[in-house]
Structure 1
Amino acid sequence: MTIKDIAKLSGYGIGTVSRVINKQPGVSDKAREKILKVIEESNFEPNGNARKLKRCGGNTITIIMKGRHNSFFMEILDRITILLSELEEVVSCQIIDEDGDEVAEALKFVHDKTAKAIIFLGANLALFDERMNEIDIPCVVATTSARELAFNNVSSVCVDDEAATMEIVQYLTSYGHKDIVVMGGEISDKQISFSRYLGCKKGFEKSGLKFDPDKNYMACRYSYEAGYETTKKLLEKNMHVTAIVGLSDSIAVGAIRAIEDAGKKVPDDISVVGFDGTVISRFYTPRITSMGQDINSIVKRSVELLMKHMHYTLECEHDYAPHKLIEGESVRRV
């Protein structure tokens, strides 16, 4: 007998059942009475995690989103919030800068005893240090793999970033491109950009091309402005470039605008590929070829893992969501 079974038998949502189990407010007398009756009749006993959450006193699922200008994260945030609301969960959101400290933000909610679980939307794993030992509530990292972390309460859902960017480079080389520049993030093995960087490097190697970090990579924040300014710098070098890989769609959009402002055309002069498959990539002119992340899978699985670990004492889990190249109008053969 699980909390889902209790919800099904009582006719109420998982969130309502959870609040009754944890003796929290916000439930009508009628609903509480019905749920308690089902619990009694089924001999259901809350597990250790549920009791621990009750002692913590938090009643909110907190989402900490990293990056104020990340359109992909905004899409995920909207969908996660809707799904959690449908489960009758109380949700709060904290948006921090791309260079912010998400663990420090999480500790504020833990110390205030307002959060019963946390979703990290984007993460710099280098920040997940010994401070995480103070966070004894379920956590899920969405869009970044936390597989290498040694914390049993931290699960994760993401695409295979390394495989995805390798496929992007191989796609471009199949169109004849050899002079390719990758833009995005910083080279740090604790950040999502590192897996994407490694994937691009591997794509070069598998295509028989030499990858020179000084020539084929430029660090860049995940924003329209950063994509624009970084591409301007690239064009000012007068290097021979036939394709740019933006490690996010926002970088790709900025890159295209910089190319157009320099009097060049996409894809006639330079091809551009993005990453994420956001709405803007499909409606921008030209439509941007982008490596799409399955947002529905990321959202659904992140919430499923969080809810499961809120009610059961289990080992952390790390899942991959599907990815697929979405062809637009921003790449041509050379």
Structure 2
Amino acid sequence: MKSNVTRKDVADRAGVSVSVVSRALNNSGYVEQNKKDTILRIAKELGYVPNPVAMSLQQKRTRQIIFYCKDLNNSFNIGMYFGMLSEAKARDYVVMINGDMDFANIKGMITDGIILQNDVFAAEYISYYGKNYFLPVVCASFGNMQSLSVAVPTVEWDLYSSMESAIHYLRKRGHRRIAYAGPYSYDHGDGRTICWKNAMKTVFEDQLEKYYLGIEGETECDVAKTVSGLENIDEYYLEKGKTVGREFLEKKPDVSAVICFNDEFAIGFISQLEFGGKKIPDDISIMSFDGTIRRKTMAPEITSVTPDPEDMGKKLANLLMDRIEGKKIHYYSRQNIHIAEGASVRTV
């Protein structure tokens, strides 16, 4: 059997032109059904395998998309990636993951479109390329809603309302004095922090800052960062959780519950509390955000507010594939949230 069977070989055996073979194999354009069946049978008998590079050049598509994600330590992002994989496979696409935020390399990649980890990176991408590069892009957003000079289709997780849900959940179980633990300083302006301050200022009054447990001077990467700066951003939430956990043991704040920034952070935070002799939830109740599979590795399992990261990844993948294929899309959608209950919260 010939090792490199071409469409011309199939055409010669079937007694038709190469263009007819191409229409039959690509399922595009009209070919009589009996002739099409014959072509497909002969292609199979000869062991014809289409050349993916040639097909991508012909169709002007690679059926490959890239998930640009700097924070691969965070299991939430890996959960989103699994969702992208399943939806892409169902539509005959491949999703690759790239942790290098050097946007200068994008033009050298063979891809149909990009999913960006968040709207901070989307703003940086637009700033770098402006309106001069038309590769389809979509992004996730986590309540910050960056001002973008070019419209980017977005799937948002509203973290302000998620914090409201967490506080409501704890209050229903008798908790009133609730601290917040995060990886950034007190003046950080994300939705979680703002909501917690608004909800707790009537409880802690002028002592509010005392019950915010964070890392002084730490700020999240923002649009002002350069591209090279983005390359060097790493969010080691587990280690930051440990740092803030030690702070909690030193300060001994008078609270019955702590809401943590995310599951990775909560795991680090809890590890230090347990090292210091605290029992969860007997001594202190813990909640977090994300609802990742990692929270299930803890004993007790962490109660977490979640948008379902896998479902969010599915929506992002379908949004991008629809855009690539020229389908009508909604430029904004919001994830539904729910409480993934564990055993880290007790009723008081």
TM-score for both structures, normalised by structure 2: 0.70
**CA displacement 1:246-293 (0-9 Å, x = unmatched):** 121111111111111001111111111011111122342001111022
Write the distance in 1 (CA, Å) between the matches of 2:213 and 2:87.
Answer: 38
Query: Is 1:37 aligned to 2:30, yes or no?
Result: yes
Say if 1:72 and 1:278, in contact at 8 Å, map to a contact too.
yes
Query: Is 1:287 aligned to 2:301, yes or no?
Result: yes
Query: Is 1:86 aligned to 2:86, yes or no?
Result: no
Q: % of aligned pairs identical?
A: 24
Give 1:301's aligned amino acid: K
Write the distance in 2 (CA, Å) between the matches of 1:67 and 1:107.
Answer: 19
Write the distance in 1 (CA, Å) between the matches of 2:251 and 2:269.
Answer: 15
Write the distance in 2 (CA, Å) between the matches of 1:124 and 1:142.
Answer: 9
Q: In the alignment, which residue of structure 1 is the partner of 2:43?
A: none
Pairs within 5 Å for 1:259-270 = 259-270=273-284
| Compared CA separation, residues 299 and 328, structure 1 to 2 (3 A) | same
Q: In the alignment, which residue of structure 2 is the partner of 1:43?
A: none
| Compared CA separation, residues 138 and 129, structure 1 to 2 (3 A) | closer
* Cα shift at 1:148: 4.3
Where 2:306 maps in the other structure, the secondary structure is strand
Moved more, 278-287 or 249-258: 278-287
Q: In the alignment, which residue of structure 1 is the partner of 2:288?
A: 274
Larger Rg: 2
Q: In the alignment, which residue of structure 1 is the partner of 2:271?
A: 257
Say if 2:84 and 2:95, in contact at 8 Å, map to a contact too.
no
Give 1:159's aligned amino acid: W
Give 1:253's aligned amino acid: I
Q: In the alignment, which residue of structure 2 is the partner of 1:201?
A: 197
Q: In the alignment, which residue of structure 2 is the partner of 1:182?
A: 180
Q: In the alignment, which residue of structure 2 is the partner of 1:99?
A: none
TM-score for both structures, normalised by structure 1: 0.72
* Cα shift at 1:306: 0.8
Match of 2:325 among 288, 302, 311: 311
Where 1:154 maps in the other structure, the secondary structure is coil
* Cα shift at 1:115: 2.8
Give 2:312's aligned amino acid: I
Pairs within 5 Å for 1:1-334 = 29=22, 32-37=25-30, 60-96=64-100, 102=101, 105-109=102-106, 111-124=107-120, 127=124, 130-133=127-130, 134-144=132-142, 147-186=145-184, 194-205=190-201, 209-210=204-205, 212-219=208-215, 221=235, 223-312=237-326, 317-334=331-348
Where 1:66 maps in the other structure, the secondary structure is coil
**CA displacement 1:214-256 (0-9 Å, x = unmatched):** 5324147552222122111221223333222112111111111
**CA displacement 1:155-185 (0-9 Å, x = unmatched):** 1112221100122123223333343322234
Write the distance in 1 (CA, Å) between the matches of 2:330 and 2:113.
Answer: 14
TM-align CA RMSD: 3.3
Write the distance in 2 (CA, Å) between the matches of 1:314 and 1:188.
Answer: 42
* Cα shift at 1:120: 1.1
* Cα shift at 1:123: 4.7
Where 1:265 maps in the other structure, the secondary structure is coil
Where 2:169 maps in the other structure, the secondary structure is helix
**CA displacement 1:189-234 (0-9 Å, x = unmatched):** 9x9x7022222223325x7553723532414755222212211122
Where 1:37 maps in the other structure, the secondary structure is coil
Structure 1: any 5+ residue segments left out of the alignment?
1-27, 39-52, 97-101
Write the distance in 1 (CA, Å) between the matches of 2:27 and 2:65.
Answer: 25
**CA displacement 1:58-83 (0-9 Å, x = unmatched):** 66311111313101111111221232
Aligned length: 282
Give 1:284's aligned amino acid: M
Give 1:137's aligned amino acid: L
Write the distance in 1 (CA, Å) between the matches of 2:133 and 2:204.
Answer: 45
Write the distance in 2 (CA, Å) between the matches of 1:160 and 1:290.
Answer: 15
Give 1:287's aligned amino acid: E
Write the distance in 2 (CA, Å) between the matches of 1:31 and 1:302.
Answer: 32
Write the distance in 1 (CA, Å) between the matches of 2:82 and 2:327.
Answer: 28
Say if 1:170 and 1:204, in contact at 8 Å, map to a contact too.
no
Write the distance in 2 (CA, Å) between the matches of 1:227 and 1:146.
Answer: 22
| Compared CA separation, residues 132 and 162, structure 1 to 2 (3 A) | farther
Where 1:75 maps in the other structure, the secondary structure is helix
Say if 1:246 and 1:252, in contact at 8 Å, map to a contact too.
yes
Where 1:273 maps in the other structure, the secondary structure is strand
